[in-house]
Amino acid sequence: MTIETMAATGAPLTELSEEESMFQKSVRDFAIERIRPLVHQMDHDALMNKDLIKSFFELGIMGIEVPEEFGGAGSTFFNAVLVVEELSHVDASCGVLVDVQNTLVNNAFIRWATEAQKSKYFGLLTRDTVGAYALSEAGSGSDAFALATRAEDRGDHFLISGQKLWITNAAEAGVFIVFANANPDAGYKGITAFIVERDFPGFRIGKKEDKTGIRASSTCELIFEECPVPKENVLGDPGRGYKIAIETLNEGRIGIGAQMIGVARGALEHAVAYAKERRQFGKTIADFQGVQFQIAQAATELEAARLMVYNAARLKDAGKPFLREAAMAKLFSSQICERVTSMAVEIFGGNGYSKEYPVEKFWRDSKIGKIYEGTSNMQLATIAKTILTDRL
Residues tagged active-site: 373
- Cα–Cα distance for residue pair 295/216, rounded to 1 Å: 29
DSSP state of 217: S
Q: Which residues fall within 8 angstroms of residue 171, CB to CB, at 6 or more apart?
A: 48, 205, 208, 218, 220
CA distance 168 to 217: 7
3-state secondary structure 309-355: HHHHHHHHHCCCCCHHHHHHHHHHHHHHHHHHHHHHHHHCHHHHHCC
The whole-angstrom separation of Cα 144 and Cα 123 is 30
- What angle separates helix 241-277 from helix 289-317, to the nearest 10 degrees? 150
Beta-carbon contacts of 93 under 8 Å, excluding residues fewer than 6 positions away, are: 42, 43, 48, 214, 215, 216, 217, 365
Q: What's the DSSP call for residue 287?
A: G
CA–CA separation, 132 vs 68, rounded Å?
Answer: 22
279, β-bridge pairs = 284
